Amino acid sequence: MSDRNNKIPFDEDNYTHNINRNNERMLDRRGFMKTLAGAAGVFAVSTLPWGAVAAKELMGLGDKEYPHQKIADLKDVKVGDSVKFHFPSENDSAILIRLSENKYVAYQNACTHLRCPVYWVKDEQEMICPCHHGKFDASTGAPTAGPPRRPLPGIEVEVKDEAIYAVRVKRYEA
Amino acid sequence: MKRSYVGVLILAAILMMNIVFTQLVVHQYYYENYGVTLLYAGLNILLFPVALFVYKNEKNKGGSKGYEK
Ligand code: FES
């Protein structure tokens, strides 16, 4: 027991195990640095699309100005009524609500939960999503009940010459 | 010959910044701060040549053997 550490474990008849062979170490210091530099390249390339989209957003559709679109004539919308329309494109359904004599609000009415169309319930003064009973506050677009968590994107409206126009989609405020 | 880990440390720091900038790019994009997004994306891209430069300079600094230089 006492000289247990003093023994050579096996007969050593060759000395090749400590020969320093070429490329023996797969990931040495240099290889590691090469990997790091490569990873930096991957990161650089992967941010390119984000930069490109951001640049496009900055130049082209900076404030997302769409051609003004007439929604309805003033006389056709009574207080408490709502009108469906499409803005900014054919496929973005939206809803206009006249809350009071001079207060108009408009939202893109695809529910922020799973994009069901939200509609206006006059009696309850609330916007309701039929799919899972999400509810939205009509004056702000903020969700008040049900699964939706984000507000409906607002649309800026303008009253001009006895008609209501959709001007732009408001910036999404998180 | 004592090996040099300076390059490794600098490159690791660069990679760290890469990760941070990438995260910032994505977040700022969703917050619609497109100018800031561009700034960070630019920085992220700039880091790559810097990393290459560091690698080129450091790769031969100090292996375990002098003759490997
Ligand atoms: S889609 Fe509107 S609540 Fe689920």
CA of A112 to the centre of ligand 1 (A): 7
Within-domain flag for A63: no
Per-residue pLDDT of chain A (174 residues; tens, 9 = 90+): 567 777 777 676 666 666 666 665 666 788 888 999 999 999 999 999 999 888 887 876 555 566 788 888 888 888 888 999 998 788 889 999 999 888 889 999 899 899 899 999 988 889 999 999 999 999 888 899 999 988 888 888 888 888 888 888 876 554
- Amino acid at position A97, single letter: I
Q: Which residues in chain A have their CB less than 8 angstroms from residue B32's CB?
A: 57, 171-172
Number of domains in chain A: 2
Cis before residue A153, ω within 30 degrees of 0? no
Supply the range of the domain harboring residue B31: 6-60
Atom of ligand 1 nearest to the CA of A118: 2
Beta strand ranges found along A30-118 (DSSP E): 65-73, 82-86, 93-98, 104-108
Supply the range of the domain harboring residue A15: 4-58
Residue A88 sits in a domain whose CATH number is 2.102.10.10
- Amino acid at position B11, single letter: L
Whether A111 is in the pocket of ligand 1, judged by its Cβ within 6 Å, is yes
Asked whether residue A113 falls in the same domain as residue A154, the answer is: yes
What is this model's ipTM?
0.82
